[in-house]
Amino acid sequence: MARASTTTIRRIRVVGKERTPWAVRLGLGIPLALLIIAFVSWRLVGLPEEELVPRQRQLADFSFAWSCPNGHSFTGKGQLESRPCPTCGLPAVPVDVYRCTEHGDVKVEIHFDSASEDPQRPKAIQFRLPKGAWTDLSAGVRCPRCDKPMQRLADDPLSHRKHP
Ligand SMILES: [Zn+2]
Ligand SMILES: [Zn+2]
């Protein structure tokens, strides 16, 4: 009789020890889970739309000189695709001006990398001289008349990224 009652007491104690931490865990865990869900929902719903498309936003942060095949120039935000010329409607592309010390300035079309490794800084990867073909920009731009390396006149707009 004495043995049986000891066993019963021990079992109750063991069960009691297991129950207390679970009750504490549930008591803290449920509000914590609700807090996390609320925070995540707030982040997803509350973010401005452009923050969910970082690459487009980065390029659109900058203004570029654009030029169409008819020679119309205008200023517009950066984007990977061509942009319709506001004067004639033909597709325009961003342009940069390069200077040869002997032959003067040449307007060069530039093309951005759609798969830039750094989403913070879309990279210009190709250029095209007037009536030329798209060429890799990594080797620099050479004068179409004397083949000497030319210097870009304007600073790289992407190197002065604005921090909103
Ligand atoms: Zn035009
Ligand atoms: Zn030259």
Distance CA 65, CA 73 (A): 7
Looking at the CA of 93, name the nearest ligand: 1
Task: Name beta bridge partners: 15.
Answer: none
- Residues, Cβ < 5 Å to ion ligand 1: 68, 70, 72, 85, 87-88
Domain boundaries, the chain: 2-46, 54-160
The pLDDT-based confidence of 157 (bands split at 50, 70, 90) is very low
- d(CA 75, ligand 2 centre) in Å: 27
Residue 50 has pLDDT above 90, yes or no: no
- At 31 the pLDDT is 77
For residues 4 and 118, the model is more confident at: 118
- At 154 the pLDDT is 64
Task: Give me the torsion for CA of 66, 110, 146, 101, rounded to 10°.
Answer: 60
The pLDDT-based confidence of 17 (bands split at 50, 70, 90) is low
